[in-house]
Amino acid sequence: MRNILLLVMFAGFLELLLPSNNMKRFVQVAVGLFILATILGPMALLLNFLSTEPRMELPVFSWAETQEVLRAGEELAARQHSEVLEKYRQSLARQVESLIKLSGQGEIVEVEVEIEEAPSEPTFGQIRSLSVELASMENGSNRSIEELADLLADFYGLSREKVRVQKVHQGG
């Protein structure tokens, strides 16, 4: 690059010194040929080097190995998908438990949340149904259970039929 730059600067200097006549065109052609020779010299060396060096071969992958890697990737993706859905389901269950504790409706035995698990569905990740089991309390009434079910249905935007709240008797 340095040689090319010096040659171009020298050509510009020569053009400034020469008068405007036929000799100026001759100098421009000669300098242009020198610049081409200067550029093509390293290119010829590179081509010569590449032709004498042994060819580098790309690694060869077998179809079976590729399929095995793809299958392992799909299994990993499915496992991660199910783990994410389970964590989401657990998070929703904890949220339901918190709502019930805030309402003061009793002690929670179990909360089950059913969600849409198919990614292709437009309702993916939405709650399909809620099931809550509360410990039986003496002061609890069926009216308070219905109010709790209504609260949960309203909070999660579900129809009342998709929310089930019941009291169970604890052994003892």
Residue 86 phi, psi (nearest 5): -65, -40
Q: What is the pLDDT of residues 31-72, one digit of tens each?
A: 788 888 888 888 888 888 877 776 767 677 788 888 999 999
**Quick count: other Cβ atoms within 10 Å of Cβ 127?**
19
Structural domain includes residue 59: no
Average pLDDT of the chain to the nearest whole number: 82
DSSP state of 58: P
In this prediction, residue 76 carries a pLDDT of: 95
In this prediction, residue 74 carries a pLDDT of: 95
Q: What is the CATH number of the domain that holds 120?
A: 3.30.300.30
Q: Rounded CA gap, 155 and 163, in Å?
A: 11
Q: Are residues 46 and 105 in the same domain?
A: no
Residue 129's beta-bridge partner residues? 114
- Residue 148 near residue 165, CB atoms below 8 Å: yes
In this prediction, residue 47 carries a pLDDT of: 81
Q: What is the pLDDT of residues 135-157, one digit of tens each?
A: 865 555 556 788 888 888 998 88
Structural domain includes residue 69: no
Work out how many domains the chain is built from and give that number: 2
Instruction: Evaluate if pTM is beyond 0.75.
Output: no
- 45: domain range? 2-51
Structural domain includes residue 56: no
Q: Rounded CA gap, 129 and 127, in Å?
A: 6
Structural domain includes residue 11: yes
